[in-house]
Amino acid sequence: MKAIVLFSGGLDSILAACLLKSQGVEVVGLNMITPFHDCSEESRKAAEEIGIELVVRSFGEEYMQMVAHPKWGYGSNVNPCLDCRTAMCREAKKLMEEIGADFVATGEISGQRPNSQKQHQLSLISRESGLNGKLLRPLTAKTLARTDMEREGTLDREKMRSFTGRNRVQLISYARAAFGLKHIPQPSTGCVLCENSYAPRVRDMLKHKDVPTIWDAKALAWGRRLRIDENAYCIVARRLADCDALDQLFAMPERSRCVLLFPHNYMGASVMLVTDEAPDFGETEPRISEKLAAYIQTAGSLSLRFSNPEKYASAEGGPTVRVQLGAAVEFIGIHEDPEVEKIPIIMESNRPEKSKETLEQGGEQNAESAPAEAQAEVGTEKGAVLQDTEESQSGDSNAV
Ligand code: SF4
């Protein structure tokens, strides 16, 4: 028999794969990258350690539609876990049909996550994904209705497990005793949709765009996000890594909605202005509307707000920014505007560094791994700045 196991590389999915392997099932892991969560590296390492084949796939723009309008609502933050797990199971079903596997399995455990792993929610995922009867949760199978494989006797239900609830200690003991696992992965929130520090940015995005794109999701991860009004927001770089990220975001097709401002004659913060007022990217000499000119001035003033006054006060002829609109470049003088002090920061990014690759994949790195120069602040703040003070908290996280 052959099974597709949704495989995050976390303890639960490792155990589900090991248990099936021990029953003689050929296991193929499937790791799904979402625009908000990429654990493909961890899952690759784990798959290698336990000796299973791994397929890594990414969700496309349809994932954003689901995040914006989840059929089954959100968990403790903006994490639409029931819809997300259903979508992952649908992808697993596709892979199962492609490679002629017999069923799909996950490491879900009944009652482990109060917002999405109650028994009726597990049944709902089975039903909604079209896998009814073919979706096995080996770690908790004995507490659930029989799957087709158990009914037909192709899998021995007695060899399955009856774990329930959140007790990780029993899972760790089982991992060591049954499979001799030495490396036990730490539980990880992983998915930023579960993080308190990230949710305000996501909510702001969802409030202002009916169906955001993956580009919008990637843009959330960088700098300070400040909304000017209903039609425009700015991302102000905090670190050199943010500047690189803004460059990369600007190189993508969505730049038709973006204006990029670089300090020209002072050391300070780069700013990306995102607005539907931005001229069409196809124009070589874009005309700047009055409204757009006002937005650019505000964005320039935001650059000054987050730059060291000593660095721009002496700029010859006053501070000037290089403004990039599509392929066109203009140099525009900017001035301090006390009004911009009133624009609240939605939340500051706590993502210090991303390589080009991880940005392209929507992935993330943690603070400790960022090179020192990438963590250097751009300019010095002079305005009041909200810090991310809340601890990241898990709602439901990557538990497949
Ligand atoms: S926590 Fe996991 S299941 Fe929930 S939305 Fe994020 S990736 Fe999906």
Q: What is the pLDDT of residues 166-185, one digit of tens each?
A: 889 999 999 999 999 988 99
Count up the domains in the chain and report the number. Answer: 2
Last residue of a domain, one of 127, 155, 179: 179
Q: Which atom of ligand 1 is nearest to the CA of 79?
A: 5
The answer to whether position 380 is within a domain reads no
The boundaries of the domain holding residue 171 are: 2-179
Ligand 1: which residues within 6 Å by Cβ? 34, 37, 79-81, 84-85, 191, 193-194, 396-398
Query: Given this model, what pLDDT does residue 119 score?
Result: 87
Query: Given this model, what pLDDT does residue 283 score?
Result: 56
Regarding whether 277 and 322 lie in a shared domain, the answer is yes
Q: Which atom of ligand 1 is nearest to the CA of 85?
A: 3
Regarding whether 216 and 173 lie in a shared domain, the answer is no
Query: Given this model, what pLDDT does residue 278 score?
Result: 74
Regarding whether 227 and 85 lie in a shared domain, the answer is no
The answer to whether position 239 is within a domain reads yes
Q: Kindly give the distance from the C-alpha atom of residue 32 to the centroid of ligand 1, in angstroms, as a whole number.
A: 10
The answer to whether position 213 is within a domain reads yes
Query: Given this model, what pLDDT does residue 363 score?
Result: 30
The answer to whether position 154 is within a domain reads yes
Q: Whose CA is nearest to atom 2 of ligand 1?
A: 398
Q: Kindly give the distance from the C-alpha atom of residue 116 to the centroid of ligand 1, in angstroms, as a whole number.
A: 10
Last residue of a domain, one of 154, 179, 204: 179
Query: Given this model, what pLDDT does residue 352 score?
Result: 38
Query: Given this model, what pLDDT does residue 281 score?
Result: 56
Stretches where the chain sits below pLDDT 50 are: 350-400
Regarding whether 200 and 146 lie in a shared domain, the answer is no
Q: Which atom of ligand 1 is nearest to the CA of 398?
A: 2
Regarding whether 55 and 123 lie in a shared domain, the answer is yes
What is the rounded CA–CA span in Å between residue 203 and residue 253?
Answer: 24
Regarding whether 250 and 126 lie in a shared domain, the answer is no
Q: Kindly give the distance from the C-alpha atom of residue 33 to the centroid of ligand 1, in angstroms, as a whole number.
A: 10
Best residue among 57, 58, 77, 85 to mutate for probing ligand 1's pocket (most ligand atoms within 8 Å of CB) is 85
Q: Whose CA is nearest to atom 3 of ligand 1?
A: 81
Q: Which atom of ligand 1 is nearest to the CA of 34?
A: 7
The answer to whether position 386 is within a domain reads no
Best residue among 12, 192, 194, 392 to mutate for probing ligand 1's pocket (most ligand atoms within 8 Å of CB) is 194
Q: Which atom of ligand 1 is nearest to the CA of 189?
A: 1
The answer to whether position 396 is within a domain reads no
Regarding whether 371 and 224 lie in a shared domain, the answer is yes
Regarding whether 209 and 173 lie in a shared domain, the answer is no
Q: Whose CA is nearest to atom 4 of ligand 1?
A: 81
Last residue of a domain, one of 136, 157, 179: 179
Q: Whose CA is nearest to atom 6 of ligand 1?
A: 191
Q: Which atom of ligand 1 is nearest to the CA of 84?
A: 8
Q: Which atom of ligand 1 is nearest to the CA of 399?
A: 2
Regarding whether 217 and 100 lie in a shared domain, the answer is no
The answer to whether position 390 is within a domain reads no
Q: What is the pTM of this model?
A: 0.83
